[in-house]
Chains A and B, each alone.
Chain A
Amino acid sequence: MRSKLCGATLAAVLIATSACGSGFDDNGSGTSQSSSGPADLKIMIASSGDAETKAVRDATAQWATSSGNKAEVIPAQDIVQQLGQALAGSTPPDVFYVDAARFADYASVGALEPYAQDMQGVDAFLPNLRQSFTYEGKVYCVPKDTSTLALQINTDLWTKAGLTDADIPTTWDQLRSTSEKIKAKGITPLAIGDTRDRIGAFLVQAGGYWVSADGKQATGDTPPNVEALTYVQSLLKDGLAKYPKALDAGWAGEAFGKGKAAMAIEGNWIKGALSADFPTIKYTVKELPAGPKGKGTLSFTQCWGVAAKSKFKQQAVAFVQAMTTADQQLSFSKSFGVMPSRQDAQATYQQQNPDDAAFVAGAQYAQGPVNAPKMDSVLADLDAGLQGLQNGRPATVLQRFDKNAKTALGG
């Protein structure tokens, strides 16, 4: 009797399994497209704050009424996780933000529709940003905006250290000599984040980078990269540069805002953060000092991704086009301070924001994030190495990265 009941229970569980399994199923491989008629778009954004959410909501509502569609903006708490769940359940939002650093992961698993490949006017976007959203020769999506790294200088500490505008460093050697002067006055010269997203800029200035341009090969242990890391290490060792945690700050911008460092290397976002948290600080923004191979900086960007499984691809692309016109980009930059990703909008942006000249200039020669799938844990491991750079060997850090990256890229 007992075994019979157990059998019955097991059967019930199995039935439940199959019932549940069907809930997961995608209905065939081809998603039915409703190209005509009003669409009901879901747009998931990783908002930088209330200002962005409101601006995107307003623009979306405007598009919805003028085009006769419905559109809903969903601000995500943790977009990577929420998207992961939505994609697993085959019900992704139609349009969503994709960070350049995560782009290849989504593209490689087929989550993204390569709509930008045939989109009209795609050439208007900055070439290096387009490159960030290219996977296996196809442009998948268009960047919504961009930010670049630049050098922030605290003008009060600058004068306190007896420096003038003539001391603003434009080369590695000048950065070192100026920093030594600042340090002599008992001020920490430079705050720099302990991650590839900051230190990588020095690699670009030395003429190297973590991976090859096509993102297929690891190029960590090369002379330019070793030179760059050795230079950064020497700054750290001599106390000329410090990681934010050593300055009791979560990131370099906080250390800079608190006046704990005379210079910081951060991106456009530092503007909003400083005016919100440290409104009294006086500072200027300059381009990063040039290295042996000239100027170099890093760019960060997100694109408007369209889900491959969306039912309303056509309308989704129309929506993205409306969100990325030059006028709309300038309106967004006014509302929440981002830099346009279109070449034709950049000139106007610079006129409107003369203080951002260094960021705008950087956008021309910036290097995008590592654009290859399955690299997240490898890059996290690289960051761990960079955190210990002060006492480590640059070549060891780079060799370790190469070894791990080869496995990830080759596999």
Chain B
Amino acid sequence: MFSRKGIRGNEQPAGWLFVAPAVLILGLFMLLPILMALWVSLTRWNGQGSPFTGDVPFAGLDNYTRLFTDEGLARQDFMTSIRNNAYYVFFVVPIQTVLALGLALIVNNRLLKGKGFFRTAFYFPSVTSSVAISVVFLFMFANGGAINAILAVFGIEGPQWFSDPRGLLHIVLSKFGVSSPSPLVDHGVFGLSWWDWLSGPSVAMCAIISLVVWTTSGTFMVMFLAALQNVPVQLEEAGRIDGANRWQLLRHVILPQLRPTTFLVVTLGLIGTWQVFDQIYVMSQGNPAKTTLTPAFLSYRTAFRDFDYGSGAAISFVLFLIIVLLTLLQRRITRERDS
């Protein structure tokens, strides 16, 4: 808009020159592959030769509409994966945020001895390879594994974790005598009945949820801890002088100070949980009965197992849109509270 001449007039080209390497690398390795994938998602490319020749059949939006409007396996699998992942996010994000905050508060406590030890212990799962942890959890959640052995001490017969496709909500409802009510079973949306939508996470998914909460809350604890250490001691002391008890201090003094960090943690949590892949790949491959199928894993399977690269790419773009929309929504909600 303004071309300001003078002593700083030549800064813009210089600025661009300095960021050129970064722009080039990001463009080449991020933007370009994304655009290529976008093109693939509009084709019926079968994985033979280049997708950028005239021979590749153009599909338009078919790959996308198949996920939403056409009755069939593609839509059913996709919607099942969305359902599974939604429950996964719904449980993981709040639990890991609260847990991370709790751990940070503990470690930040001035009276705690051996802070360094606890900080390391809580952070340790985050720096360990997720594949290694997944394998260990597989052993722990085996039918005769540690978890079931501990449950047996309390007289509880543990489930067969990784072969139990029953949804948590279905189990709870069946305790009250509700199982497959026909109004919910006979009607539905997007190829799944309401009853299927309301299944809750399966027992197998619960094991994965607990694993992810355990591994990621360490990372987020560090973020909360950094923010906590920036809260001025004077604020706390002022609060105490005003007669606030510990809960009031946390609720009205510390938490408001942590708002930017909480936003960051929840956002990162949302993005990360919608993209869950490696735990699924290592532990369950979508089994039992597709209850741990997630969009990221489905996208991989559709592309590399079925040679349906177009649909696979389309799934990942829909996932991308879901993440963007949810992040925007979350930002909006937190902003409204401010005013």
Contacts and interface: CB of A to CB of B under 8 A. Distances in A.
Contact of B47 (A13, A84, A381): A84
B304 A384 contact: no
Interface in A215-250: 243, 245-246, 248
Contact of B306 (A25, A243, A376): A376
Interface stretch (B24-32, B168-176, B226-234, B266-274): B24-32
B305 A80 contact: yes
A243 B287 CA distance: 14
Interface in B44-58: 46-53
A408 B311 CA distance: 14
A24 B52 contact: yes
Contacts of A246: 143, 160, 163
Contacts of A24: 49-52
B236 interface: no
B151 interface: no
A109 B44 CA distance: 11
B12 interface: yes
Size bracket of the B interface: 35 or more
Interface string A249-269: 000000000000000000000
Interface residues of A, number: 40
A49 interface: no
A5 interface: yes
B32 A20 contact: yes
A387 B163 contact: yes
A374 interface: yes
Nearest to B308: A374
Interface in B4-24: 12-13, 16, 23-24
B72 A404 contact: yes
Contact of B49 (A88, A105, A374): A88
A111 to B, nearest CB: 6
B47 to A, nearest CB: 5
Contact of B48 (A21, A87, A408): A87
A86 B309 CA distance: 14
B142 interface: yes
Given A21-B50, A88-B49, A377 B77 contact: yes
Interface string B278-292: 000000001111100
B50 A387 contact: no
A5 B16 contact: yes
A90 B55 CA distance: 14
A377 B290 CA distance: 11
Contacts of A166: none
B28 A16 contact: yes
B59 to A, nearest CB: 12
Interface string A101-134: 0000100011100000000000000000000000
Given A13-B31, A109-B46, A377-B73, A84 B307 contact: yes
A384 B290 contact: yes
A315 to B, nearest CB: 22
B260 interface: no
Nearest to B307: A105
Nearest to A404: B73
A110 B307 CA distance: 12
Interface string B297-322: 00001111111110000000000000
A81 B47 CA distance: 11
21 contacts: A5-B12, A24-B49, A24-B51, A24-B52, A26-B49, A81-B304, A84-B307, A87-B48, A88-B50, A109-B46, A109-B48, A111-B48, A245-B163, A246-B143, A246-B163, A374-B306, A377-B305, A381-B73, A384-B289, A387-B287, A388-B289
Given A24-B51, A381-B73, 20 more contacts: A17-B32, A17-B35, A17-B36, A21-B50, A21-B52, A24-B49, A26-B49, A80-B304, A81-B304, A84-B304, A87-B48, A109-B46, A109-B47, A248-B142, A374-B308, A376-B305, A377-B73, A380-B301, A384-B287, A384-B288
Interface of B: 3, 12-13, 16, 23-24, 27-28, 31-32, 35-36, 46-53, 72-74, 77, 142-144, 160, 162-163, 165, 286-290, 301-309
